[in-house]
Amino acid sequence: MRLDSPTGLRLASAQTLALTRRSVVSEWRQLGNVLPGLVFPLLLAAVYTHQFERVILLPGFPAVDSFLDFVLPASLLQSVSFGATEAGTELARDIENGFFDRLRASPCARLPLLMGRLGGAMAVAAAKGVLIVMVFLMFGAEIAGGPAATVVVVAAAVLIVLAIGGLGQVLAILTGNQEAVNATFPLVFTSIFMSSAFFPTTLMSGWFRQVAEANPVTWIIDPVRRLILEGWSWSDVGQALGVPLVLSVITVTMAVVALDRRLGAT
């Protein structure tokens, strides 16, 4: 199917939407896989807020009324990370059970094979992000940047899922194995703790600080946190959305290239 014609674009869009809907329905039918991504970050935020409330009094700690405000970006990122590799896992599952081959034999274009699953993961991440923010606001958290900053915060989380999902799809295409894709989750989750998610890098020291400052998660968390604590800033918006967007372009491009090579080889 040619995507450089209006008809081809319409058909590809319809196919992407259909596969996105399939992905979302699949997630809805397995709520047991979604709930940990909501419950665990909220419980951890509650514990941290109670235990580390006096940390905000340390010299050099960002000006904040409650540790709950400070930990909001970390909890949001934790929540969406639970399903970030699902796009890759779904693709690997389809390869294993033969559904991927049936799609290849159909008139379906190549790009929807990837974007449908990524779209589903992004839709689920957006819903989880909105829910996490709502719960935080109910318990007294404040977003100084207002509704516009709230949209940016959730959008940044969704773009992170797109970036991780693209990487998961690369592994799915190369290995065709769900376990190989799922093995990336500990790395994703560890990267959150090895960043400024729960503590500012200015108060870190030694090798941990160097790792945290070089961690792309920190490059996203810090501007998102400033939008929450300090208010609206176009430079922070650009960084909060630009960094995950660049990462997304890289990983999705890698997935497209891997898919083209796989289909070309067969």
Q: Any idea what DSSP says for residue 109? A: -
Please tell me the distance from the alpha carbon of residue 169 to that of residue 88, in angstroms, as a whole number.
Answer: 4
Mean pLDDT of 54-64: 84
3-state secondary structure of 155: helix
The predicted-structure confidence for 186-198, as pLDDT tens digits, reads as follows 888 889 989 999 9
Range in 49-53, 118-122, 192-196 with the lowest mean pLDDT: 49-53
Domain boundaries, the chain: 6-265
Name the least confident of 66-75, 84-93, 243-252.
Answer: 84-93
Rounded CA-CA distance 264/259 in Å is: 8
> Distance between CA 121 and CA 62 in Å, rounded?
33
Mean pLDDT taken over the chain? 86
Residue 160: which residues within 8 A CB-CB, separation 6 or more? 77, 80, 81, 84, 220, 244, 247
Locate tokens 């419980």: which residue?
43
